Amino acid sequence: MAERGSSTRLPLPALQQLARNAILHRDYESTHAPVRINWFENRIEIHSPGGAFGQVTPENFGTPGLTDYRNPHLAEAMRVLGYVQRFGVGLEIARRELSKNGNPGAEFAVQLGHVVCTIWKPRR
């Protein structure tokens, strides 16, 4: 379990899936801003430059199985290296792991130029 301090805990597979999604789906062409992971006492925020892309819109973002790739070469490299097991299931895995751990579901703010994922500490 990923941990920093005693009050913010979440399952490592969820953090891995959400961080990998941020890296994979970010916009590498119009910005040099990094993916940022900010760790707070009660939550973790993952900021990914680049908003929804292709068939993924702010309205359907996170729909199981719905995906599009602005970085198909990076997606293939991540698959070959074992960082992606199957395309289109990362958010589903993260949601399942968070639920099993007692965390509220991940929240996504999908804007034109970025996506922010917020993961809250467990409800215990």
**Please, are residues 2 and 15 in contact by the beta-carbon 8 Å criterion?**
yes
Per-residue pLDDT averaged across 39-46, rounded?
Answer: 94
pLDDT at residue number 114: 94
For residues 86 and 28, the model is more confident at 28
Per-residue pLDDT averaged across 20-36, rounded?
Answer: 93
Domain limits at 9? 2-120
pLDDT at residue number 7: 40
pTM for this prediction: 0.85
pLDDT at residue number 124: 59
For 104, residues 6+ apart whose C-beta sits below 8 A from its C-beta are 98, 120, 123
Q: Which single residue is written with the structure tokens 């130029």? A: 113
CATH number for the domain spanning 92: value is 3.30.565.60
Q: What is the pLDDT of residues 59-105, one digit of tens each?
A: 999 888 788 888 899 989 998 999 887 777 889 999 999 999 999 98
Dist. CA 14–CA 97, nearest whole Å? 6
Report how many domains make up the chain: 1
Q: What is the pLDDT of residues 99-112, one digit of tens each?
A: 999 999 899 999 98
Please, which contacts does 105-111 make with residues 24 or more away whose CB atoms are closer than 8 Å?
106/14, 106/18, 108/61, 108/62, 110/51, 110/52, 110/58, 110/61, 111/51, 111/58
